[in-house]
Amino acid sequence: MKKINKILIVIVLSVIFIGVTIPFTLINFGGRGTGNQPPNPPTITTLNQTITTDRLTIQWTSVTEADNYSIYVNSVFNASSYNNQEEIIFGVNGTYQITVTALNDFGESSHSNPITIIVGITPIFLGNVLIYINSSLYNSLSSDITQYKQDIITQGYTVNIFNWSNNNVTQLKNHITPYYSNGTIGAVLIGKLPYAKAQYWDSSWMIFRQFSCDYYLMDLDGNWTDANSNGFFDVGALDNHLEHNNGTADALPEIWVARISPYTISKVGFNPLTSLSNFFYRDHQLRIGLTYRPHQGLLYIDDEWAAYKSEWVSNFTTYTGANLTCEADYNYFANDFTNATYFLSNISDITHPAFTNYELVHVMAHCNGTEQQFGINALQHPFYNADDGILTYNDIYNNGPQPLFFNLYSCFSANLMIRNNIATHYLFDGQSLGVIGCSRSGGMSLYQPFYDSLRDGKIFGEAFKDWFHGPEIIPLNHWEEVYGMKFFGDPLLTIHMT
């Protein structure tokens, strides 16, 4: 319901008695309150307490002149309510101070009395996590890694940390594999660590495309053979020969693998070590409730895929209704709103009307690895206007995107063989903590299993692995695009932490 601004109408009559003018206020009416001033603060009635769950409903007294209330956790805005109670989800163990303010058209009250909530969830074993860190970084990042390890343990996982200096990716895989039988669910690779290389034949350009392949580290029981000893696994090459098969079990991933490494970024003045430390600082801030994003997702569908908007939206199950913004461009012949400038404004320009503090952004746009190209692919549609703008890695670097998570359906966006690939820039140039991309052509399509898992509270790493095991992906496990899928960032986060 639209609220009507409060109006104070004062009618003054002048009554003259023997030369004296006496003013009378005859009418004083309008909205709630006794004048044009902010409301009084509420009083929280919930008591200080220790809880063993991740959520608690906070209650406070109603304030007559208030229109709504803001709830703060550790001095950071957390939620808004039109009632005198709100459920707060804390996410992780810790000590939290809660205050509430009342608001009306004239401003915000001072903060209520604070209460302290101690969250002490009894850990349950959720699995083991392996952390591999480039040995040259460990001493410089030891305090960051120690805090990261503790945060993961607080979630209910066990952690093994390894200083790693071997550049052979097969040796890395051989080290990971035995831990799977002990409950290991995934591996986080920090810094410059080895990766497998693969290639396929691109029939559009009549060339071999070579790319980094983390699928090799995720599939622990499949058979990978570089039959021609050229240093690349052929997965969909000229003769459609696949140097990957079921091996002793299947060709699907047993674990997830994530990378946290800024070392493909090449910019004057860029410091990889500082960038890594800043990443872990942001990560911890989210985990202790000091980073807030509304549960809002952006599905940004450029021209080439816009005809299937209804399918994309229906599969985007983490965000529905008012929590979903969908931009889709059906106009192939005009520089319409799904262009590079408008997209950048959506995610980074806090002064722009289109800007929203999104939690997650899923974008579908063409890409060559270092820049996203908005508009129809000119190679496939030579008569269309393909000039809807270009978003370069410099644009990302200079503007600092604000969303916490990105899913890039953009070719070659996460190829570690490409310097200044945009997936790495999205992770380190702004506020992001997780980026999904593809190191070859394509990206995450048929994505409902992934978003179902996120919606249900799973960590990003498990949701990522679930996508490979989805009912529509399994029949296509040799479909070339799956070999290029990557996760950059912290795979142990959930959308419920924001």
Q: Are residues 203 and 57 in the same domain?
A: no
Reply yes or no on whether the pLDDT at 274 is more than 70: yes
Q: Are 96 and 119 in contact (CB under 8 A)?
A: yes
Q: Are 9 and 29 in contact (CB under 8 A)?
A: yes
The model's pLDDT over 415-460, given as tens digits with 9 standing for 90+, comes to 999 999 999 999 999 999 999 999 999 999 999 999 999 999 999 9
- On whether residue 35 sits in a domain, the answer given is no
Q: Are residues 235 and 359 in the same domain?
A: no
Distance between CA atoms of residues 375 and 342, nearest Å: 13
- On whether residue 2 sits in a domain, the answer given is no
Residues whose CB is less than 8 angstroms from the CB of residue 337 and which lie 6 or more positions away in sequence, other chains included: 327, 329
In the block, which residue shows the tokens 């990766």?
A: 195
CA dihedral 414, 304, 472, 478 (to 10 degrees): -50
- On whether residue 304 sits in a domain, the answer given is yes
Sign of CA dihedral 180, 183, 186, 191: negative
Domain that holds residue 137: 127-245
Which residues make beta-bridge pairs with 101? 70
Distance between CA atoms of residues 407 and 432, nearest Å: 11
Q: Give me the numbers of helices (H) and strands (E) for the chain, helices first please.
A: 10, 28
Helix (H) or strand (E) holding 275: helix 272-287
Distance between CA atoms of residues 2 and 239, nearest Å: 65
Structurally, the chain folds into a number of domains equal to: 3
pLDDT of residue 481: 78
The residue from 119, 141, 174 where one domain ends is: 119
Q: Are residues 109 and 153 in the same domain?
A: no
Q: Are residues 290 and 429 in the same domain?
A: yes
pLDDT of residue 228: 81
Residues whose CB is less than 8 angstroms from the CB of residue 51 and which lie 6 or more positions away in sequence, other chains included: 117, 118, 119, 120
Q: Are residues 99 and 138 in the same domain?
A: no
Q: Are residues 312 and 455 in the same domain?
A: yes
Q: Are residues 89 and 172 in the same domain?
A: no
Which one, of 165, 51, 28, lies nearest residue 98 by Cα?
51
- On whether residue 348 sits in a domain, the answer given is yes
Q: Are residues 279 and 227 in the same domain?
A: no
Distance between CA atoms of residues 89 and 246, nearest Å: 42
Q: Are 97 and 27 in contact (CB under 8 A)?
A: no
Q: Are residues 350 and 452 in the same domain?
A: yes
Distance between CA atoms of residues 231 and 27, nearest Å: 87
- On whether residue 22 sits in a domain, the answer given is no
Q: Are residues 394 and 285 in the same domain?
A: yes
The residue from 245, 260, 295 where one domain ends is: 245
- On whether residue 38 sits in a domain, the answer given is no
The residue from 81, 98, 119 where one domain ends is: 119
pLDDT of residue 405: 98
Distance between CA atoms of residues 262 and 275, nearest Å: 7
Reply yes or no on whether the pLDDT at 1 is more than 70: no
Reply yes or no on whether the pLDDT at 301 is more than 90: yes
Distance between CA atoms of residues 434 and 408, nearest Å: 11
The model's pLDDT over 21-52, given as tens digits with 9 standing for 90+, comes to 444 433 333 344 456 899 999 999 999 999 99
Reply yes or no on whether the pLDDT at 461 is more than 70: yes
- On whether residue 14 sits in a domain, the answer given is no
Task: CATH number of the domain at 379, please.
Answer: 3.40.50.1460
Distance between CA atoms of residues 182 and 187, nearest Å: 13
Q: Are residues 182 and 305 in the same domain?
A: no
Reply yes or no on whether the pLDDT at 473 is more than 90: no
Reply yes or no on whether the pLDDT at 242 is more than 80: no
Task: CATH number of the domain at 81, please.
Answer: 2.60.40.10
Q: Read off the tokens for 186.
A: 């995934």
Q: Are residues 290 and 351 in the same domain?
A: yes
| Pairing assessment for the beta strands 184-190 and 127-134 based on DSSP bridges | parallel
Reply yes or no on whether the pLDDT at 278 is more than 60: yes
- On whether residue 404 sits in a domain, the answer given is yes
Q: Are 414 and 439 in contact (CB under 8 A)?
A: yes
